[in-house]
Chains A and B, each alone.
Chain A
Amino acid sequence: QQQVKQSPQSLIVQKGGISIINCAYENTAFDYFPWYQQFPGKGPALLIAIRPDVSEKKEGRFTISFNKSAKQFSLHIMDSQPGDSATYFCAASKGSNYQLIWGAGTKLIIKP
């Protein structure tokens, strides 16, 4: 019930295409769903986050879509660029203790 399942494990997308990474969770008490981006040799950094009271959040080329009934959320990267090549992690947390439950990560490669 504490797991967050992330797919795919790796993804190759052509420059200008749409990258889509999916996550699913079981625990309906989760109320915060962030996406982190990690470049090689660096620590993860928050990219975008959503709460279950909205179904979509957009920041620039990055969009989170949230489906509460299906217990799924996804990251869409529009007009993907080589600079977006990184590992992406979804996560979830509940309540006030802010412990994040992490997905396994997706290695995204954008081909020029």
Chain B
Amino acid sequence: DTAVSQTPKYLVTQMGNDKSIKCEQNLGHDTMYWYKQDSKKFLKIMFSYNNKELIINETVPNRFSPKSPDKAHLNLHINSLELGDSAVYFCASSEYSETQYFGPGTRLLVL
């Protein structure tokens, strides 16, 4: 069983479109995260949710909106996609320990 899963794995879209990425974890963790990894491999935390409550909201454009329908799911909706949004987006989850478990990533390419 996959611990942290993301869909889709690849996403190719045109500038200006709106898209969503879904994340699910079956580890029973309370905290979930979204990260952006750019072409230079730098990992940037975007959002963190704890028990469906937003606890970290780093400086990201408000075109990005996370939504947590329950503590096992954290989705990311992106409006008006721009070229600079092209990156790999990772979902992760953690419990009381600090270990974060990452999903396989969603590779977003904006044309």
Contacts and interface: CB of A to CB of B under 8 A. Distances in A.
Nearest to A87: B41
A45 B102 contact: yes
A81 interface: no
Contact of A32 (B4, B31, B98): B98
- Which secondary structure dominates where chain B touches chain A? strand
Interface string A43-85: 1111001000000000000000000000000000000000000
B104 A104 contact: no
Contacts, number: 50
A105 B41 contact: yes
Interface in B45-91: 45, 48, 55-56, 90
A41 to B, nearest CB: 8
Nearest to B100: A100
Interface string B9-50: 000000000000000000000010000000011110100100
A1 interface: no
B92 A98 contact: no
B76 to A, nearest CB: 15
12 contacts: A32-B98, A44-B43, A46-B99, A89-B43, A93-B98, A99-B45, A102-B42, A102-B43, A104-B41, A105-B40, A105-B42, A107-B41
